[in-house]
Amino acid sequence: MKNWLFLGVAIVAEVVATSALKSSDGFSRLMPSIVVVVGYVLAFYFLSLTLKVIPIGVAYAIWAGLGIVLIALVSWVIYGQKLDLPAIAGMTLIIAGVAVINLFSRTAGH
């Protein structure tokens, strides 16, 4: 169970780091740049902890899929970036894919 918590922390850290990447303005602003570096270090550290139990393909699919959806939501809320119907449909399919992996795959390491 803690491995799934570690994966969740990795996802959140990656989303925070990627969100700060835009604010870093090409690493020209100090504080957002620090958030980017610390966020990615934490993301990869916690992802590496999950790989002790969760297969890399499953962990990465969940990490990347949920990261895409969460970054799109953060971009919409914080930066006002619009999501059109095809983007929303695609993200819905990503969420469905993550759900299928978690609910039905024997590979998921449950």
Query: Tell me: the pLDDT tens digits for 24-61?
Result: 999 999 999 999 999 999 999 999 999 999 888 889 88
The domain of 60 spans 2-108
* C-alpha separations of 31 from 26, 34, 35, 40, 79 in Å: 12, 5, 6, 14, 18
109 has a pLDDT exceeding 60: no
**Over residues 61-74, mean pLDDT:** 90
**Over residues 80-97, mean pLDDT:** 91
Q: Which of 86, 56, 76, 65 is nearest to 11 (CA)?
A: 65
Residue 65: count of CB within 10 angstroms of its CB:
20
**pLDDT given for residue 25 in this prediction:** 93
Q: What is the mean pLDDT of the chain?
A: 91
- How many domains does the chain fold into? 1
Q: In degrees to the nearest 10, what's the CA dihedral of 16, 21, 23, 28?
A: 140
**pLDDT given for residue 102 in this prediction:** 77
110 has a pLDDT exceeding 70: no
**pLDDT given for residue 103 in this prediction:** 80
* Residue linked to tokens 């610390």: 38
Res. 1 pLDDT band, cuts 50 70 90: confident
